[in-house]
Structure 1
Amino acid sequence: MSSVEESQPLITHLVELRNRLLRSIMFVLIVFCGLVYFSNDIYHLIATPLLEQMPQGSTMIATNVAAPFFTPIKLTGIAAVFLSVPYILYQVWAFVAPALYQHEKRLIYPLLFSSTVLFYTGVAFAYYVVFPIVFGFLTKTAPDGVAIATDISSYLDFVLTLFLAFGICFEVPVAIILLCWTGVTTPEDLKEKRPYIIVAAFIIGMLLTPPDIFSQTLLAVPMCLLFEIGLLFARFYRPKEDETDNGSSELTKHKE
């Protein structure tokens, strides 16, 4: 086979990858254009958990002249990406699906769906459960004589960090399933390491959340529960090597 013929499949894959990326970018831009008119309302929605906990008469501030304009626009762009996650995952799936076996495709379908649902669940959990507790704690611990006036840009960076942290940490079951499916580890090994994983969950909660025990616990406890859920479903995803070995052994028995 000539080098030209060998390079054709690579070029085809690169063109396909480019088309998938362009479709994803175009979809995000379309969603952004549909949301940009409501950018101030979106920011107010995100700021509500803090505004409800602030003392009477307190407001958020903007320390930069352009912040009142660019901060809501930045949030709208990130919201467009968040809302486009299902479509982006579909494009990723469409790109890698031809290289998978039929039984692998059947296993990937629930994995993609669950990863999307878990990410959105983590973000919703942070907004509806964590934010009211964290902001209530932080605003009530302010020393006497200190006026609470949070900068809108700093607040956006803070909540986006928490959104991302909870969204990623809620992917624990998917990570466990993939580790077991690829043969990196087994459910039995993870069960033996459960005490270390629980400690690691609280350490991660301490590093990714504000310095208070409430938010740390609110991230660590769901991670521990999701770890157990991942162990439960990991037994349905066997490594390929195990499947091959089982198939060859059954063939040998049949011949005998």
Structure 2
Amino acid sequence: MSLLNHLNELRRRLIAVFVVFILSAAVMLFFTKRLYLWLIRDLHVDGQLAVLSPADIVTVYFMIAGVAAIAVTIPFAAWQLWLFVAPALTRKERRIALSYIPALFLLFLGGIAFGYFIVFPNIFHFLMSMNDGMFQLVFTAERYFRFMMQVVLPFGLIFELPVIVVFLTNLGILNPVRMRKMRKISYFVLIILGVALSPPDFVSDTVMSVPLLLLYEICVTLSAITWRRKLKRRAQSEGELSAAAEQTHEHNL
């Protein structure tokens, strides 16, 4: 295929992903009220948060439905990506790449769960403890859910890194030696990323940045394991080729 045909194919895949996202968001709108009541169950506000304008109601609906739609769309997006690159892969590579799709979905859900059940409550309760009776707490729905999404959603995306690292290591683009050499720069970038993605306070920045650094070390370990397996497979393949060549040489003699 020419470059133009590749771009047209990529455009078709992206449009399909966008359509699935929109349809998923439309379906999730019917479940938004249930999700809303479940998400504010610990606030003790009798199911009501303040809004400053009618537009805030629409914003909250779309924020909740949008995150749920992302979770639904990720497996389909990964499948479309696999279909795009599959013609350039061998049968074994296609099978390996296809096995990453469930992992992407499960890691996204795991990241969302980690952010919501572990990180978000700690940040929220710490910030509430700083009130100490000094302020009257009035939560607006739009700001509360925007704060929640800023904390939770990045973890769903960041938890995809192990799969990406394993995939790039299998392709030979990454290796553990290179990742170790890049550790200082990577730490700096991850801390900047944690500060940028988290709400503007020191506790949120710390709680966001520390898991990123731990996740990087997990990625280095996974890259090392994948790299050793790749080298072992390569050695076995070269040994089989050498044995076959020797047999052919002996047969010719």
Indicate whether the TM-score tops 0.5: yes
Partner of 1:64: 53
Measure how far apart 1:160 and its partner are. 2.0
Structure 1 residue matching 2:177: 3-state secondary structure: helix
Aligned AA (2:101): L
The yes-or-no answer on 1:122 pairing with 2:115 is: no
Measure how far apart 1:136 and its partner are. 0.7
Partner of 1:156: 145
Partner of 2:39: 46
Q: Which residues in structure 2 correspond to 1:66-145 (within 5 Å)?
A: 66-142=55-131, 144-145=133-134
| 8 Å Cα contact 1:177/1:231 also seen in 2 | no
Structure 1 residue matching 2:139: 3-state secondary structure: coil
1:194–1:33 Cα change, 3 Å: closer
Worse-matched range after superposition: 31-40 or 218-227: 218-227
| 8 Å Cα contact 1:63/1:151 also seen in 2 | yes
Worse-matched range after superposition: 220-229 or 191-200: 191-200
- Aligned to 2:26, which of 14, 28, 33? 33
Q: Deviations over 1:47-102 (max 9, x none)?
A: 345x25xxx88963211233224421343134223322112221221222112122
- Aligned to 2:218, which of 219, 229, 235? 229
- Aligned to 1:20, which of 9, 13, 36? 13
1:197–1:77 Cα change, 3 Å: closer
| 8 Å Cα contact 1:42/1:72 also seen in 2 | no
| 8 Å Cα contact 1:119/1:170 also seen in 2 | yes
| 8 Å Cα contact 1:170/1:223 also seen in 2 | no
Structure 1 residue matching 2:54: 3-state secondary structure: coil
Instruction: Please report the TM-score for the alignment, with normalisation by the length of structure 2.
Output: 0.73
Structure with bigger RCO (C-alpha 8 Å, 6+ apart) = 1
Measure, in 2, the Cα distance between the counterparts of 1:173 and 1:149: 39
Structure 2 residue matching 1:236: 3-state secondary structure: helix
Structure 1 spans left out of the alignment, 5+ residues: 1-5
Structure 2 spans left out of the alignment, 5+ residues: none
1:144–1:31 Cα change, 3 Å: same
1:200–1:32 Cα change, 3 Å: closer
1:38–1:60 Cα change, 3 Å: same
| 8 Å Cα contact 2:176/2:227 also seen in 1 | no
Partner of 2:136: 147
Partner of 2:175: 186
Measure how far apart 1:172 and its partner are. 2.9
The CA RMSD over aligned residues, in Å, is 3.9
Instruction: Please report the TM-score for the alignment, with normalisation by the length of structure 1.
Output: 0.72
Aligned AA (1:120): L
Partner of 2:155: 166
Q: Deviations over 1:179-212 (max 9, x none)?
A: 5345444212434555665565555434432324
| 8 Å Cα contact 2:10/2:84 also seen in 1 | yes
Measure, in 2, the Cα distance between the counterparts of 1:212 and 1:124: 22
Percentage of identical aligned residues = 27
1:129–1:189 Cα change, 3 Å: same
